[in-house]
């Protein structure tokens, strides 16, 4: 078996002096789609933020590799340029910075300072069209006054432009209406190929109907407590997390 595309081992995360993730590990090979599910507050976003290099979410222990490169000592921008992408659960507004200018700066940073950008406009327009994003968004300030669904769509637009090696999608499905969910899922599927990987955090089966994971992991109180195939998501949808609680009950209680 060749080297995994993305791998993290025994990751511990601390935020505001609080330990929120306690030693999680995962391997994603090229071409794979994984999903993480788990109750509110179980540490899914903390893990994602920490992997992306958010300074407040400190990795106190553990290792992470992308294409064999050690991510731990990289800053967030280096991780991004190394091919890691995080679609945020709550994308932030940046007043005064237009979507187009932001996107151009991001792409430029990936291509290199002096790289040719003459194709930018064409690329950007094409991606906006594919994701059914109105052209007027190009000149709007990033996420400023965007609806919840619009923000998520713009996150996927960014992913489509940057073509990361691995995409962490933190609840990209939440806040999307039925049509939007489908269009966003199509966007993810267009991006996904045999060479890259997807790690989705979600609460619901409905996204997984469109973007089919090979593996589902359940996060509970800062740990991965069980993993399985797509059927695990269906079981969770059906029965909730109570059985998981019972399963890990005794250890966790004590």
Ligand X SMILES: Nc1ncnc2c1ncn2[C@@H]1O[C@H](COP(=O)(O)OP(=O)(O)OP(=O)(O)O)[C@@H](O)[C@H]1O
The binding site for another protein (CB under 8 A) comprises 52-56, 75-77, 79-81, 86, 88, 91-92, 94-97, 101-102, 105-106, 109-110, 141, 158, 162
Residue 168: Cβ within 10 Å count: 27
- Closest to another protein by CB, 99 or 200: 99
Asked whether 219 and 24 are in contact (CB, 8 A), the reply is yes
Asked whether 78 and 52 are in contact (CB, 8 A), the reply is no
Secondary structure (3-state) at 58: strand
Q: Total residues contacting ligand X (rule CB under 6 A)?
A: 14
The one of another protein, Mg ion, ligand X, none whose footprint includes residue 46, by CB under 5 to 8 A per kind, is: ligand X
The alpha carbon of residue 129 and the mean position of all alpha carbons in its chain are separated, in whole angstroms, by: 22
Choice from 45, 127, 158, 223 touching Mg ion (CB under 5 A) = 45
Least distance to another protein, CB of residue 79, Å: 8
The one of ligand X, Mg ion, another protein, none whose footprint includes residue 42, by CB under 5 to 8 A per kind, is: ligand X
Residues 68-97 that bind Mg ion (CB under 5 A): 89
Cα separation, 225 vs 27, in Å, equals 15
The one of another protein, Mg ion, ligand X, none whose footprint includes residue 165, by CB under 5 to 8 A per kind, is: none
Cβ-proximal residues to 45 (8 Å cutoff; 6+ apart), any chain? 89, 170, 171, 201
Least distance to ligand X, CB of residue 57, Å: 7
CA distance to 37, 139, 142, 160, per residue, from 101 (Å): 34, 8, 9, 16
The one of ligand X, another protein, Mg ion, none whose footprint includes residue 41, by CB under 5 to 8 A per kind, is: ligand X
Asked whether 143 and 93 are in contact (CB, 8 A), the reply is yes
Note the residues at the interface with ligand X (CB under 6 A). 15-16, 18, 20, 38, 40-46, 56, 89
């Amino acid at each position: 078996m060749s080297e995994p595309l993305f791998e993290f081992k025994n990751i511990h995360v601390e935020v505001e002096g609080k330990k929120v993730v306690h030693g999680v590990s995962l391997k994603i090979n090229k071409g794979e789609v994984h999903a993480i599910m788990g109750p509110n507050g179980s540490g899914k976003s903390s893990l994602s933020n920490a992997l992306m290099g958010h300074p407040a979410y400190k990795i106190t222990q553990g290792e992470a590799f992308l294409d064999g490169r050690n991510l731990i000592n990289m800053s967030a921008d280096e991780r991004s340029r190394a091919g890691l992408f995080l679609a945020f659960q709550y994308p932030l507004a940046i007043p005064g910075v237009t979507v187009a200018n932001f996107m151009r700066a991001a792409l430029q940073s990936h291509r290199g300072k002096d790289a040719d950008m003459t194709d930018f406009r064409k690329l950007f327009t094409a991606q906006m069209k594919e994701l059914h994003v109105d052209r007027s968004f190009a000149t709007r300030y990033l996420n400023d006054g965007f609806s919840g669904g619009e923000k998520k769509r713009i996150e996927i637009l960014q992913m489509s432009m940057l073509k990361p090696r691995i995409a962490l999608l933190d609840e990209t499905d939440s806040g999307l209406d039925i049509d939007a969910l489908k269009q966003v899922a199509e966007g993810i599927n267009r991006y996904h190929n045999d060479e890259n990987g997807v790690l989705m955090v979600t609460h619901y089966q409905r996204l997984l109907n469109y973007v089919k994971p090979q593996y589902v992991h359940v996060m509970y109180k800062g740990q991965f407590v069980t993993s399985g195939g797509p059927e695990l998501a269906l079981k969770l949808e059906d029965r909730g997390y109570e059985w998981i609680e019972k399963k890990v009950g005794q250890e966790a209680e004590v």
